[in-house]
Structure 1
Amino acid sequence: MLSAVLLAAVPAAAQAPELAMLGSLEKGGWSLRVRDDGSTQQICLRNGQELIQLQHRQPGCNRFVVEDGADHVVVQYTCRGSGYGRTTIRRESPRLVQIQTTGIANGTPFSLNGEARFQGRC
């Protein structure tokens, strides 16, 4: 009982923010190079979480954080009526990340393995 009271007394501000690693990435324009076909995509990052749903850009998807580390995150998400995905992001620096994401988008499977680099302003 005492431990429950002590846990309840911990203020919410003292708890670590979820997906803090993504918030540590440089804000602005990023270029994502897809390894499989060499294509590139331009992404404007405001908080880093834009990298989670590269195939499902719509808002309102449900997310489940599988891993939330200092240098990597793994997130599963479901977008009702559109599909789902699982994304792993590994930070090499605040300006360079490795991304691997797989899932189903509009009934079609997808898999993307790439590298995103900070480019400057959006």
Structure 2
Amino acid sequence: MKKLAFIGTASALLVAGGGYALAQSGTLVALAKIERGEWQLRASDGSTRSICVTDPRVLLQLRERAAGCTNFVVENEPNAGRITFSCPTGKTDTRITVETPRLIRLETQGIIRGLPFTEEYEGRRTGACKAAGR
């Protein structure tokens, strides 16, 4: 519940300090360290999924990529960062830690379409992206 309270606080900052939020919007510097290619994401429940990462920003919104989202960078360190997204369908808070260019940790939580979620992933680059149709 404490983590979800943060999302509400961040959202209030976006609304109350509109000009400041625009100055802080953007992306995370740690993303530049992530290698492009095929990644396997292993959830804390043991399930896995593969994703072709041509732009590391896709890792920040695994659950929902709705149009019209705004973001606010909360932390922006060389190897880690946290960003919040406010979208028409809900709000998300994501923290990423880049252990190596081929190993990351993701923690994401929020509310999408009125339903709360919390997910944790370990991501490992497994090689080049698979060609479409193969």
Shorter-chain TM-score above 0.5: yes
**Partners of 1:90 and 1:97 within 8 A in 2:** yes
SS in 2 for 1:67: strand
Q: What is the TM-score of this pair, normalised by structure 1?
A: 0.79
Q: Select the residue among 97, 103, 106 that pairs with 1:90.
A: 97
**1:58 Cα deviation after fit:** 3.0
Matched with 1:26 is 35
Higher helix residue share: 2
1:65-86, Cα deviation, whole Å (9 max, x unpaired): 0011001010000111x11110
TM (normalized to structure 2)? 0.73
Aligned to 1:44: 52
Whole-Å separation in 2 of the counterparts to 1:28 and 1:60: 27
Q: Which residue among 72, 85, 97 is the counterpart of 1:77?
A: 85
Deviation of 1:18 after TM superposition, in Å, equals 4.6
Tell me the secondary structure at the aligned position of residue 110 of structure 1.
strand
Q: Distance in 1 between matches of 2:30 and 2:62?
A: 18
Q: Does 1:67 align with 2:82?
A: no
Cα deviation, 1:38-70, whole Å, max 9, x if unaligned, reads 111211112211111111123431110001100
The answer to whether the 8 Å contact 2:27/2:57 transfers is no
Count of residue correspondences: 104
Distance 1:68 1:24, change over 3 A: same
Q: Gaps spanning 5+ residues in structure 1: where?
A: 1-16
Name structure 2 gaps, 5 residues minimum: 1-25, 130-134
Q: Quick one: distance in 2 between partners of 1:25 and 1:84?
A: 25
Structure with bigger gyration radius: 1
Moved runs in structure 1, 4+ residues, more than 4 A? Answer: none
Per the alignment, residue 54 of structure 1 pairs with 62
Deviating more after overlay: 69-78 vs 51-60: 51-60
Superposed CA RMSD in Å reads 1.4
